[in-house]
Amino acid sequence: MTFRRIGIAGKPHKEDVKRTALTLTEWLRTRKIEVVLEDHLGDSLPTRLPQRDDLPRHADMIIVLGGDGTLLSVARAVGNDAVPILGINMGGLGFLTDITLSEMYPLLEEILRGNYTIRRRMLLKTTITRKSGTQKTFQALNDVVINKGALARIIDIKAAISGEYLTTYRSDGLIVATPVGSTGYSLSAGGPIVCPGVNGIIITPICPHTLTNRPILIKEDDTVTLTLLSKEDEVIVTVDGQVGHPIGYEDTVEISKSDNAIAMIVPPGKNYYEILRTKLKWGER
């Protein structure tokens, strides 16, 4: 695939991100690549620029400047489009945005020459159904979390897998994660690291009341149905740590593998196990 029009998205309110975006724009244009900046990165330019949700319609590749949170936001904007994403780390830890600024231009040279791989990463389709019958549907690249509010007590969540009763969790909450999201909140709560190429679904309880309630990895084609059995006032479903939706007693959250996937560009020389060693500082003393 040849990239002729590249979109650039970035973490807002960061001057270093804006400067990098404008420098990168000039670098790409000297190579005859049309560049589309999202609106806040080029707000000093005279041309009208698209907002993040519209950016995928204007580009055949998107470069993300920021951290994993920025990339997750862009992934939601891509949605059903098959626009591939390349993440450049200008944020924190950066498992998804794993390319450093010093690596960016040499690796982009390789990508523009066609030396890259596209890996498709599974998304979770999440449908929240209220007792009233109203529904909301979201897509998640990392995880879906049911959390109690700051003042809520332990909550009870009934869990079923493809119609078969699993257990009723008594805990501070529950995380349902993709393999991509296994190195995020799920890992902090004691969940396993799962290689992104393994398409399973991880269920990780948060501070379970019963210590034998351990994380479980289920098949990618299973459906997780969660029913809130507590009558607490403050229980929230959070998608990728960025979109929140309140739920109440006997509301259900159904989570399954989405028909859509996110295309991630992997440049040459990037190795998942090397990223794990580097980011998690394995082997260091």
pLDDT at 43 over 80: no
pLDDT, the chain, mean: 92
38 alpha-carbon distance from chain centroid: 19
Residues 133 and 215 reside in one and the same domain:
yes
Residue with tokens 């394995």: 282
Structural domain includes residue 103: yes
Active site residues: 68
**Interatomic CA distance for residues 49 and 88, integer angstroms:** 21
Residues 127, 112, single domain; the answer is no
Share of the chain above pLDDT 90, in %: 73
The whole domain housing 63 covers: 5-116+267-280
The candidate with the shortest Cα–Cα distance to 7, out of 121, 84, 98, is: 84
User: What distances in angstroms separate CA 276 from CA 91, 122, 140, 223, 241, one per listed residue?
Assistant: 17, 19, 22, 29, 21
CA atoms lying within 13 Å on the CB side of residue 29: 10
Same domain, 149 and 46: no
Kindly give the interhelix angle for 15-29 and 101-112, rounded to the nearest 10 degrees: 30
Write out pLDDT tens, residues 103-115. Answer: 999 999 999 999 9
3-state percent breakdown (helix, strand, coil) of the chain, nearest 5:
25, 40, 40
CATH label of the domain that carries residue 47: 3.40.50.10330
Helix (H, G, I), strand (E, B) or coil at 204: strand
State the Cα–Cα distance between residues 62 and 35, nearest whole angstrom.
10
pLDDT at residue number 96: 85
The pLDDT of 201-207, averaged and rounded, is: 97
Same domain, 137 and 96: no
Do 175 and 77 share a structural domain?
no
The more confidently predicted of residues 96 and 117 is: 117
pLDDT one-digit tens code per residue, 147-199: 987 776 799 999 999 999 999 999 999 999 999 999 999 999 999 999 988 98
Task: Answer yes or no: do 87 and 130 share one domain.
Answer: no
**Would you say residue 74 lies in a domain?**
yes
Number of domains in the chain: 2
**In Å, how far are 70, 81, 274 from 65, measured between CA atoms?**
8, 20, 21
Give the end-to-end CA distance of the chain in Å, rounded to a whole number. 43
Q: What is the CATH number of the domain that holds 192?
A: 2.60.200.30
Better-predicted residue by pLDDT, 251 or 40: 251
C-alpha distances in Å from residue 194, one per residue of 29, 128, 213: 39, 26, 19
Average pLDDT for 30-55: 86
The pLDDT of residue 278: 83
pLDDT at 46 over 70: no
Residue 285 domain-assigned (yes or no): no
Given pLDDT bands bounded at 50, 70 and 90, which one contains residue 274? confident
Out of 40-54, 65-79, 127-141, 219-233, least confident range: 40-54
Question: 149 with 232, same domain?
Answer: yes
Q: How many CA atoms lie within 13 A of 205 on its CB side?
A: 23
| Non-local CB neighbours of 10 within 8 Å, separated by 6+ positions | 17, 18, 20, 21, 38, 40, 41, 64, 65, 66, 70, 90
91 and 217 in a single domain? The answer is no
Q: Do 89 and 30 share a domain, yes or no?
A: yes
At residue 81, what are phi and psi to the nearest 5 degrees? -75, 155
Same structural domain for residues 134 and 56?
A: no
Q: What is the pTM of this model?
A: 0.92
CA distances from residue 204 to 16, 135, 147, 220 in whole angstroms, order as listed: 36, 24, 12, 15
Q: d(Cα 228, Cα 72) in Å, to the nearest integer?
A: 26
Are 101 and 131 in a shared domain? no
Q: CB count, 10 Å around CB of 48?
A: 7
Instruction: Let me know whether 144 and 227 are in one domain.
Output: yes
Helix (H, G, I), strand (E, B) or coil at 98: coil
Confidence at residue 250, expressed as pLDDT on a 0 to 100 scale: 95
pLDDT value at residue 115: 95
Looking at 133-265, list the stretches that DSSP marks H as alpha helix, in order from N- to C-terminal side. 185-188
